[in-house]
Structure 1
């Protein structure tokens, strides 16, 4: 198994990556092919594929924010069972992030992730890829150490059409298990930067941000 970074839409691996994304995720979660050009060239956005026998069988995209010493897992796809892909990707990602933090002279504080809540919405079939079953993924991410931030979460659609995407939780995995809450201002700053690429923000998202601005901290709760 190889863990290979993709940083150009001209890379043949990117076409395979994008096709896998379209098979697994709903349309509002998938950025158009050509719109990936700038994100892939952005050094802060790290897109890696797991390649097995010449085929892309797994994908992960994540970012490291040195100013806050935190990371964000944009998405992870485990596209085939029986290869140990989940563990392979998680270990390689953490190894890479730990190295990035060490370059700043620190240890990684933690990592955000958006996680589907299938108990609220049951229509996430993920293209029939059983390894992406949202019930299983939620428990796996809980096992890794992710916890749910205590507020109702929506995010702007990646189709940039001004609609709000619901049915997810914003979660955080602290590397220090004694961390039980996050500053609300840090969450606001992070989400504002993270979604700055989308001009058409839904009112639901703006309301959520304003509500967070009126809070001091946000608790971390079990998934």
Structure 2
């Protein structure tokens, strides 16, 4: 059963259909999850009758997927019932994606004359279904040579939206200059996002 894609920490769900093909009521005692990433999957609301599912009837069990890491995630959902044929196993799968993406991961300004300016743009994309709070800071050995001087990013970024930061390099000395721009979003399991800033004063 594929649950599809979801951003880290955010849940998507699908209904698992259960049908009684036997001749007597089917009683589902319990539902459990095991396997590689059991914590990412969880059974939810069920329409299966507590007294048993009548022959040829159907019911549903909601299965939630909340990825805790990037990439493919998997587990096994087990239905414990009184059918007498053993537990029923259902393979579960889903993919975790980054909830906030900051790109590019590094910015190189090349050679810039002393006291001249060169600007580059940085994009922040919120892939989550909820708004995030944004903040940024610059640290490093040459922090005074780099500054966020504009862009469309504000204190918050709406769900499924993007914004930009304009980062300016103004070398104060000759030779290589470096710093790191950190972008923090909340909620965001991968924050802060570090962007390497490099340039050279000439």
Both structures adopt the same fold (TM-score exceeding 0.5): no
Larger helix percent: 1
TM-score normalised according to structure 1 size:
0.19
Please identify the structure whose Cα radius of gyration is greater: 2
**Greater RCO (CA < 8 Å, at least 6 residues apart):** 2
TM-score normalised according to structure 2 size:
0.21
Larger strand percent: 2
